[in-house]
Amino acid sequence: AQRVTQPEKLLSVFKGAPVELKCNYSYSGSPELFWYVQYSRQRLQLLLRHISRESIKGFTADLNKGETSFHLKKPFAQEEDSAMYYCALSEPGGSYIPTFGRGTSLIVHP
Amino acid sequence: DGGITQSPKYLFRKEGQNVTLSCEQNLNHDAMYWYRQDPGQGLRLIYYSQIVNDFQKGDIAEGYSVSREKKESFPLTVTSAQKNPTAFYLCASSLDSAGTRALHFGNGTRLTVT
């Protein structure tokens, strides 16, 4: 059963608009959650992880255990944010191998 | 320059032939992984290895085989038993298999079987 759900295959916004990429998960414990990004012609790379509570390239993501969500947000999208974004979950102490969502393609129009 | 190297970038094979994809890392990472990336399906785990000479099946291991004879190498063989082998294959590594460790990915190999 899929444990990480990214409901949007494609998200299209204009430059300067806020962006939110949704990620919901199903796990009863305390998961480790990550966002990975794949820019055009580049390798897949880590964007941020929830335990670091960091902001990378203006993106933030907050773990909401009540809603089992880990949405990725940025207040003002830039054209260079256009990429494929994957949410991933690890289960510490259990099967810790990361499980990925199906990905959301973000397109930021000028 | 440390990282993960996958070769070749593109691979073409005829149906019924086995093919081996190379993955080498010089990051001194213990754990290595193979994922398959298909449009609309995200990344699906094929095999993973936490330590040399040991590996486990992932979610879609049927038709694939791996070996981990050296820490830095984790080759994937796509056998003729794999029903839909045409795909983009990603190799990754992490420092260890703890759940908080980020994965480092290679550039991928695109396999086309006709």
With cut-offs at 50, 70 and 90, classify the pLDDT of residue A32: confident
Q: What is the pLDDT of residues B28-86, one digit of tens each?
A: 999 999 999 998 888 999 999 999 999 999 999 999 999 999 999 999 999 988 888 99
Which of A32, A36, A100 lies at the smallest CB-CB distance from B100?
A32
Strand-by-strand arrangement of the A19-21 sheet: A19-21, A72-74, A60-61
Nearest to B43 among A9, A31, A86 (CB): A86
State the average pLDDT for chain A.
Answer: 90
Q: Which helix (H) or strand (E) holds B83?
A: none
Which of the residues B33, B43, B47, B105 would you substitute to probe the A interface, choosing the one with the greatest number of A C-beta atoms within 10 Å?
B43
Partners of A6 on chain B (C-beta within 8 Å) are 42
Q: Which two tokens stand for residue B82?
A: 């794999």
Alpha-carbon distance B29 to B3, whole Å?
A: 10
Provide the b/e sequence for B24-49 (b: ≥16 CB within 10 Å): bbeeebbbbbbbbbeeeebbbbbbbb
| Longest Cα separation, chain A | 45
- Locus of tokens 């944010």: A81
Q: What is the pLDDT of residues A38-81, one digit of tens each?
A: 999 899 999 998 877 788 899 999 888 889 999 999 999 999 99
Instruction: Please give the pLDDT value at position B34.
Output: 97
